[in-house]
Amino acid sequence: MMKVDLNCDLGESFGSYTIGKDEEMMKYVTSVNIACGFHAGDPLVMKSTVENALKHHLKIGAHPGLPDLQGFGRRMIQISPEEAYAMVQYQTGALLAFLTAQGGSLSHVKPHGALYNMAAKDEKLANAIAQAVYDLDPSLTLFGLSESELTKAGEAAGLSVAHEVFADRTYQSDGSLTPRTHPNAVLHDEGAVIKQVLRMVEKQEVESTDGHIIPIKADTICLHGDNEAALLLAERLHKSF
């Protein structure tokens, strides 16, 4: 059986609003990316998510995003590299405080949503994010879209990099994720997800929505906690790997 890191974006509840089934998902993943308050999450949610992740002995990463609670960090906002640098350090530092207080350690940083997708294509933003992580702690791992500007920037900065692929998202012919505004952006069918993941891991390739075969690296596989089928998919993938 192959051993592949399976990660999930968690801690995305806010106040009275609950998103995802975090505790159940933690049974099936090996890494978690915890929202840091800008796109989702709040101090109490961050604290409790860290507690649960430590209880399950998971690798814990910061999941910094754009300051856009209403849009869940998935709307494009034009920011400068200097702003990106500061946003990443600010949010990562907040999560690091909860980990330090509870005797845990930070494993990685994975930008969220629009910030992630912007950095996958924008060299200057990617360099700023990578430098922000390196300056905070050069032993951290940077998660980025496989073969993107973000992973290139991380490697150039001297960071360990995890090339990330997505179990439940479709791809465009340039290797980017299909925008969520498109109806076929997210895969909900269990069989289609398992088939795509096995192909990405075993053959290091993925088929785009228009039929192109794209070479990729698959160091870690992401499942979105807010996908309605996330728990079932996580359980199946856990059994597969």
| Model pLDDT for residues 180-230, shown as the tens digit of each residue | 889 889 888 888 888 999 899 999 999 999 999 999 999 999 987 655 566
The β-bridge partners of 142 are: 109, 161
* Structural domains counted in the chain: 1
What's the predicted TM-score (pTM) here? 0.93
Q: How far apart are CA 119 and CA 184, in angstroms?
A: 23
Q: What is the CATH number of the domain that holds 17?
A: 3.20.20.370
Assess contact for 159 and 142: CB atoms under 8 A.
yes
**CB of 11 closer than 8 Å to CB of 29:** no
pLDDT of residue 223: 82
Query: Do 115 and 159 contact (CB within 8 A), yes or no?
Result: no
Low-confidence ranges of the chain (pLDDT < 50): 1
DSSP string over 147-194: TSHHHHHHHHHT-EEEEEEETTB-B-TTSPBPPTTSTTSB---HHHHH
Instruction: Report pLDDT for 228.
Output: 59
Mean predicted lDDT score pLDDT of the chain: 92
User: Which structural domain range is residue 57 located in?
Assistant: 5-240
Q: Which residues pair with 221 in a beta bridge?
A: 6, 165
- Would strands 141-145 and 108-109 be described as parallel, antiparallel, or unpaired? parallel
